[in-house]
Chain A
Amino acid sequence: MLNGTAASDGIGIGRAMIIEEHSLDYTPKTITDTDAESQRFKNAVKIFCDNTTAQAEALRKSTGDKEAEILEGHIQIMRDPYMCGEIEKLISDGQCAEAALEHMCDMFITMFSAADDELTKQRASDVKDIKTSVLSILLGVNEVKISAAPKGTVIVAKELTPSMTAGINKENIVGIVTETGGKTSHSAILARALEIPAVLSVDGAAKKLSAGEQVIVDGNEGIVIASPEESQIEQYTQKRSAFLRERRELENYRGKKTLSASGEEYELFCNIGKPDDAISAMEFDGEGVGLFRTEFLFMDRNSVPTEDEQFEAYKKAVLILKGKPLIIRTLDVGGDKDLPYLGLKKEENPFMGYRAIRYCLDNRELFKTQIRAILRASAFGDIRIMFPLVTCVDELRAGKELVEKAKEELRESKINFNENIKIGVMMETSSAAVIADVLAKESDFFSIGTNDLTGYTMACDRGNSDVSYLYSALQPSVLRLIKNIIDCGIKNNIPVGMCGEAAANSMIIPLLISFGLTEFSVSAPSVLKVRKVISTWTKAEADKVAEKVMSMSTEKEIYDYLKTVI
């Protein structure tokens, strides 16, 4: 059994086709008939452009415009008058076409790789891909024809390039295994778009698996099984049909509005941790991002990220969302999240201590840097700011004051931002929940963080098995707080969302519908499932359930009752 990164859900059972990389080595020679060499180069470019146009057309049919545009960009790069002009010049100076092409491509690869922005950096891999394709044509090396793969093929490769993936026929390819690439790599995105199970980053896969060998690809768990036993095949065949049945059912909810059975409309957002996660939020049909945790930007490094670094990250996320809302939570450090370079002291009781907005308000420069970066990114889409761990209105006011100060600075420097950026509170402490009426008057929105809210309200550490039985969002106290937060939001005309795990819990969803929650923010893979659950409830039915639940005295009663109604 081989382990890798689960990059595209599903189970594939088929025979391995190993995509070997051909050597593109050549011996540079000096050309005397430069006209003939130039013609050879022109012919190669023409073949490249014809092939790529055909691939782009095929891809447009299978996965849509976006993937096809990557390939059309390749044609434009190869036809670039400067690039072609310089290559022709090198050829007329006596260089062979291969060397001339490689020289120019490498120049741009170096230039793009050195750029300080992500989008430009990505262009380097495009030029690399083009170089490989045109060199293969010049050298007469046949690129493997994935398009000719027979039914039931599992592709095994070092890496999938866009031009390779263009040949994938989703009828015939049942799985993908590569040696490189993560969840957000090009191969992963494409595999998901084609709904082909994929396991990436499998060390030495092309060597460990042999051509024609039977292979099981478990894209849910990130497992590859070579030459499986009869019993394993049977087990995975069953798993596969169950998976497909559920997927088919959920697919009916893609592209639909999130509506209850009685027609109330809700917003269904995703929780993300990195700018690239916004891609999966879109893929899974999220209607926006209800929680962007910004801690990742501060982790795995030795110093605080600069304003520009943060700005680029927020901007990237909001551009991916194409106008859909992005709620950015300001730095939630402390508690269980330590950043050594900040030099936080060890605390007796970190969850009650120096964390989140408390830390930020005490380190105003760091906080203002983040706020400035968020404000600058707000010029590029619908960004909203959310403060974590607010316990009293003073913290909200201080945070808002800092936002005003940052706005003032940006105005002075004539930097664009959204003047009317919305500022909300993450409702995750019992104190905030109790004074929701006060906070609602000064907030533009609420988002309930049920994980901490449950922990703080029950005074219970879910990680401690001696007390974790108390940890449940179905505790009457927690439900009353959630209801109060939503009531206060409604009274003050501000939207109330939920970004904790409870928002995706099918037992709790009817209660939230009844209370009047307006936005659910869940992990990307849960979007369609939650949309389906919401669609099964009418407001009146949900009200009946909620009324009953709110009259019950214990968590167990509530749990047992909800089990019977879902």
Chain B
Amino acid sequence: MVSKQLTLTNAQGFHMRPASVFATAMGKYSCDVTIKFNGNDYNAKSLLNIVAACIKCGSEIEVICDGADEKEALEEAVQLIESGLGE
């Protein structure tokens, strides 16, 4: 299992479009991908779960990947979030 703490910097927070970019990207990996936010776990391959988490700009989140391709998944997750999720 690998994980990393990150700050969400895109202006709109995790709304439909950024959430969908993220969930689609994570869907390619076989490992489990979880976002820890405010003490709750959210399935990061599910756009609905991410949107329901209501994560706003400036929030601290932890991305946890667990499974065969966890390293690659985490790397892409970090890169996506740091680049502002395509906004």
Contact = CB atoms under 8 A, between A and B. Distances in A.
A69 to B, nearest CB: 8
Contacts of B54: 115-117, 120
A115 B53 CA distance: 9
Given A77-B47, A116-B54, A120-B54, A380 B11 contact: yes
Contacts, number: 46
Contacts of B71: none
14 contacts: A73-B16, A76-B24, A80-B23, A80-B46, A82-B43, A111-B52, A115-B52, A117-B54, A119-B15, A119-B16, A120-B15, A120-B54, A319-B11, A380-B11
B78 interface: no
Interface string A63-76: 00000000001001
Interface string A87-126: 0000000000000000000001001100111011001000
B52 A108 contact: yes
Nearest to B15: A119
A263 B41 CA distance: 59
Interface in B39-76: 43, 45-49, 51-52, 54, 56, 58
B48 A80 contact: yes
Interface of A is mostly: helix
Interface residues of B, number: 19
Contacts of A81: 23, 27, 45-46
B24 to A, nearest CB: 8
A112 B19 CA distance: 14
Interface of A: 73, 76-77, 80-83, 108, 111-112, 115-117, 119-120, 123, 319, 379-380, 416
A81 B27 CA distance: 8
Contacts of A112: 51-52
Contacts of A76: 20, 24, 47
B12 interface: yes
Counting chain A CB atoms within 10 Å of each CB, which of B12, B16, B24, B45 scores highest? B16
Nearest to B16: A73
Nearest to A84: B46
B48 A83 contact: yes
Contacts of A82: 43, 45-46, 48-49
Nearest to A73: B16
Contact of B12 (A73, A111, A116, A319): A319
A73 B20 contact: yes
A82 B42 CA distance: 10
